[in-house]
Amino acid sequence: MGRLGEDPDELSPMQKTLWLCSLASCALLSSCAQWFFSGRPESSRMRPVALVETTGGVELAATTEFGVLTLGRTATAGPCRVHYFLGEAPVVEDGTIAAATPTFCRADIVLATQSIRVLDRPLQEDDALVAMYTPDGKELVQVAVERAVGMGATGDLVDTRGTALPAGAAVLLDSDDGYRFVGLVTARAELTTDGSSRTFHAYAGLDRLRELAAVPVPHPVNTTWDHRPDGVLIRRN
């Protein structure tokens, strides 16, 4: 390799080849290098959503501290392919899906995701909420939502002011220190009172998440290492 400041025209053919390969590698890895050399201790968690392909179809998911969570509408077991984000860059990884609770399924992959924390308190009236999902594993859709109030609406309902949300869209709390996971949209509900109607979206919320937190997880005992063809070293428990 040539030294810093060395004129490329004065390099040997082998040095020129290595120099050009280095430039090409930097261009290809620019999205990862941008984070690596940014000085931030961890990657961005501003896109904590995923798209999961299963043997039965495609569904939306959220990347949380409990894993990649789906509603299990298309499959509750078997192989899957997870489209998620590393920073702002879309990434695809194969894995397996399994039922975690009667409400949620977990897509298990070996690489880390933008695993945001679950909200550990009840929602407050002044909480800022947002619904987020990726329809194709590349683009990101965000919709401002509010807690449903009025017309006798109670429970885990959000008001989107007329914007339709697909099942599996993540409901997130937008706090000063990042997003917190609140739940996944499950259905659309229309409430009619005294001749007037409004459409809300129901979501599997904190009570369903408590079930997930209560599921016992075996403590890892043995650790093995997998050497992947792409050069990534994976530790398995």
Kindly state the percentage of the chain with pLDDT values over 70.
Answer: 74
pLDDT of residue 206: 84
The per-residue pLDDT for range 85-111, each reduced to its tens digit, is: 988 889 999 999 999 988 999 999 987
Task: Return all residues near 2 (Cβ < 8 A) that are at least 6 apart.
Answer: 8, 11, 15, 19
Q: Beta 77-86 vs 129-133: how paired, if at all?
A: unpaired
pLDDT of residue 6: 47
CATH: 3.40.50, 1.10.238, 2.60.40, 2.40.10. Which one for 129-214? Answer: 2.40.10
pLDDT of residue 54: 96
pLDDT of residue 1: 42
Say whether pTM exceeds 0.75: no
Across the range 216-233, mean pLDDT stands at 71
Task: Map out the domains of the chain as residue ranges.
Answer: 12-39, 129-214
pLDDT of residue 99: 93
Whether pLDDT at 222 is above 60: yes
Lowest pLDDT segment from 112-116, 120-124, 169-173:
112-116
Which carries the bigger pLDDT value, residue 83 or residue 230? Answer: 83
Distances (CA, A) of 163 to 52, 131, 151: 23, 11, 19
Whether pLDDT at 72 is above 70: yes
pLDDT of residue 159: 87
Whether pLDDT at 213 is above 70: yes
